[in-house]
Amino acid sequence: MDTVSGAATRLLFPDWMRGVQGRVETALARQLPAAEAIPARLHQAMRYATLNGGKRVRPLLVFAAGELSEAPLPRLEVAACAVELIHSYSLVHDDMPCMDDDVLRRGRPTCHVEYDEATALLVGDSLQSLAFEILARADFADGPRQLEMLALLARASGSCGMAGGQAIDLAAVGRTLDQPELELMHALKTGALIRAAVLLGGLCGTALGADERDSLDRFAKRAGLLFQVVDDILDCTASTVTLGKTAGKDAAAAKPTYVSLMGLERAREFAADLGGQALAALSSFGERSRRLVELTDFITQRKF
Amino acid sequence: MDTVSGAATRLLFPDWMRGVQGRVETALARQLPAAEAIPARLHQAMRYATLNGGKRVRPLLVFAAGELSEAPLPRLEVAACAVELIHSYSLVHDDMPCMDDDVLRRGRPTCHVEYDEATALLVGDSLQSLAFEILARADFADGPRQLEMLALLARASGSCGMAGGQAIDLAAVGRTLDQPELELMHALKTGALIRAAVLLGGLCGTALGADERDSLDRFAKRAGLLFQVVDDILDCTASTVTLGKTAGKDAAAAKPTYVSLMGLERAREFAADLGGQALAALSSFGERSRRLVELTDFITQRKF
């Protein structure tokens, strides 16, 4: 069977990464309704919001975690697309005027600027439905496992996950959060979906043991937090052109970030600590976790 | 096993209806996160938008269709809640300023008026996630069937269903649609979720034969259209107080409706025709379809 191990693991990390990104881009283009299918404007906007050459960090995590369970590529592709569709929907809604009110995303006008607000609202709604549709429709030949994956992704997306974190974030503007409050917010807002990506990848192949699942979950939680701390650092150090989205936005909006809480240097140390903890959680997997290790290093060192 | 047939079918229709409405209200209250769970404001708003004594037409259709397959009540309850959560999310988003911009829903301020726009956006997003979460998490002891139900509900909700219908509706404001265009819009906007409710109820129990599924689907499509035609008639004949939402809104917004297309009298005749066609589709089910027949009559004759 076509799995992520074997020949694929001998690729250098940048080549592996580009391979997964290309595969996910193609799969997303196929899973999304055609641009000319009625209602065409909505479908064009869904494609505009999703097929934009994003970094595809969550799909990369799905594929990297899939190596632990020797998962078949077609399953990883479906899981990766489902997670990325949820992520894309959240970006479209977060950018809307009533939320973060942003005009730039991945170097292009945001969805409500390029189309209109009503369309952007429906784009987000429809991308969310599509994520669950493709995950429910795929044939994984293991109904209970597939239902577990659906429940996991839905939980990570909703009010006890990503959307809940966004709600806490909105309520926190202009207030000072302490570190536990900030961690709860990010554990939900960014962490929940990052964690779901890792766990979904682990669920795509041979069943992991209870200890292995615990280790993977420990990794997933650290990786989610790490990603957000690095994001906060980049928001205050990188330029708008490099990021492809408006830089310095968090500070301008008086949003609580790790940098505003602990300063740039301590935020960098915290990121390095989290990276170390994430890697430690993977130690028992040995060579099977090689892509997750490389990806963690990549996330820690990313510049955009 | 506790099924909808047996004692329950001997109830008079109004008593059966109140029984299902009460059961669904209780189940929704249990499925929604507690009002004090973090983030509390979001969870309060989700409960506000959902637990408002709606007519619960879609849950009633799930339970009535469940009689065809002698479905266990706990399964019907989950399916009914999932459909109603999707319906509730769509009302919250449809009422927002960038869509229909309405301030009144079921006699109370709409969600974005009572809370704020950002919260309303997250309420809708979270209700959608919750619908799929509860349907994926339930134990129906038949994985493939449950996955089929999830795929069906997701498809009915997204850009090829309800959200797609809303997009066509938005694009049609101020334009004249002919009857086929109007039917396509409504087949998606209202019809897709009504149809899903009926089919989900049919999927909750003993498997129906291919002919029975075809008959049920024919019924479901007619019932969905019927519901919308009656809605259009009520929008121009009932008062805001009776409807619990702003009456005459469609005409004021120059929205295409069956009444604007064919006039009030012909719209009434069309509704009666559709009701007859819906009932004809049920004829082969005999006594098992009694609740669906009564519910169709109720929908045809409703005054609010």
Q: Using CB atoms and an 8 Å cut-off, which of residues 213-272 of chain A contact chain B?
A: none
Over residues B139-158, the pLDDT tens digits come to 998 999 999 999 999 999 99
Q: Mean pLDDT, to the nearest integer, of B72-82?
A: 97
Beta-carbon contacts below 8 Å between A and B: 163
Among the partner residues A99, A136, A184, nearest to B154 by beta-carbon distance? A136
What CATH number corresponds to the domain at position B263?
1.10.600.10
pLDDT tier for residue B21 given thresholds of 50, 70 and 90: very high
A104 beta partners: A109
Question: Chain A residues with CB inside 8 Å of B137's CB?
Answer: 147, 151
pLDDT at site A253: 67
Q: How far apart are CA B123 and CA B114, in angstroms?
A: 12
Among the partner residues A41, A117, A163, nearest to B126 by beta-carbon distance? A163
Residue type, A234: L
More confident residue, A107 or B21: B21
Please identify which residue in the block is written with the tokens 């005409």.
B251
Distance to chain B for A127, nearest Cα, Å:
7
Please identify which residue in the block is written with the tokens 């020949």.
A7
Percent of chain B at pLDDT above 90? 76
Report chain B's mean pLDDT, rounded to a whole number: 91
**Which of A85, A116, A159, A183 to mutate against chain B (most B CBs within 10 Å)?**
A159
Over residues A85-97, the pLDDT tens digits come to 999 999 999 999 9
Q: How far apart are CA B238 and CA A60, in angstroms?
A: 55
Contact A154 B161 (CB under 8 A): no
More confident residue, B123 or B2: B123
If one counts the domains in chain A, the total is 1
- Does A8 reach chain B within 8 Å, measured CB to CB? no
pLDDT at site B248: 66
- What backbone phi and psi angles, to 5 degrees, belong to A70? 50, 50
More confident residue, B177 or B100: B100
Return the CA Rg of chain A.
18
pLDDT at site A1: 45
Distance of CA A228 to CAs A73, A189, A268, A274, Å?
28, 9, 12, 11
Nearest chain A residue to B149 by CA: give it: A136
Q: How far apart are CA A25 and CA A22, in angstroms?
A: 5
Report chain A's mean pLDDT, rounded to a whole number: 91
How many CB atoms within 10 Å of residue B251?
Answer: 14
pLDDT at site B1: 45
Over residues A102-137, the pLDDT tens digits come to 999 988 999 999 999 999 999 999 999 999 999 999
Report residue B111 as tokens. 């969600």
Q: Mean pLDDT, to the nearest integer, of A34-57?
A: 95
pLDDT at B4 over 60: no
Q: Mean pLDDT, to the nearest integer, of B183-199?
A: 94
- Does B34 reach chain A within 8 Å, measured CB to CB? no
Contact at 8 Å (CB) between A52 and A29?
A: no
Return the CA Rg of chain B.
18
pLDDT tier for residue A52 given thresholds of 50, 70 and 90: confident
Question: Chain A residues with CB inside 8 Å of B203's CB?
Answer: none
Question: In this structure, is residue B1 part of a structural domain?
Answer: no
Q: Mean pLDDT, to the nearest integer, of B78-89?
A: 98
Contact B129 A159 (CB under 8 A): yes
Question: Chain B residues with CB inside 8 Å of A150's CB?
Answer: 132-133, 136, 147, 150
Nearest chain A residue to B158 by CA: give it: A126
Q: Mean pLDDT, to the nearest integer, of A42-60?
A: 95
Nearest chain B residue to A123 by CA: give it: B159
Alpha-helical regions (H) of chain B: 13-31, 40-50, 57-66, 73-94, 111-114, 117-137, 143-157, 162-172, 179-186, 192-203, 210-237, 240-243, 249-252, 258-281, 290-301
Q: Using CB atoms and an 8 Å cut-off, which of residues 165-204 of chain B contact chain A?
A: 166-168, 170-171, 184
Over residues A4-28, the pLDDT tens digits come to 544 444 799 999 999 999 999 999 9
Contact B136 A147 (CB under 8 A): yes
Question: In this structure, is residue A5 part of a structural domain?
Answer: no
Q: How far apart are CA A193 and CA A215, in angstroms?
A: 17
The closest of B255, B198, B208 to B232, measured between CA atoms, is B255
**Which of A122, A148, A177, A255 to mutate against chain B (most B CBs within 10 Å)?**
A122
Q: Which SS3 state, helix, strand or coil, does residue A65 take? A: helix
Q: What angle do CA B279, B285, B288 make, to 5 degrees?
A: 100
Q: Which SS3 state, helix, strand or coil, does residue A72 take? A: strand
Among the partner residues A130, A154, A166, nearest to B136 by beta-carbon distance? A154
Question: Chain A residues with CB inside 8 Å of B116's CB?
Answer: 98
In A76-91, which positions are buried (b, 16+ CB within 10 angstroms) versus exposed (e)?
bbbbbbbbbbbbbbbb
Contact at 8 Å (CB) between B153 and B135?
A: yes
Over residues B32-71, the pLDDT tens digits come to 999 999 999 999 999 999 998 889 999 999 999 999 999 9
Report residue A72 as tokens. 């078949």
- Does A286 reach chain B within 8 Å, measured CB to CB? no
pLDDT at site B30: 98
Report residue B246 as tokens. 């702003």
pLDDT tier for residue B183 given thresholds of 50, 70 and 90: confident
Q: Mean pLDDT, to the nearest integer, of B251-261?
A: 77
Show the domain range for A113.
Answer: 11-298
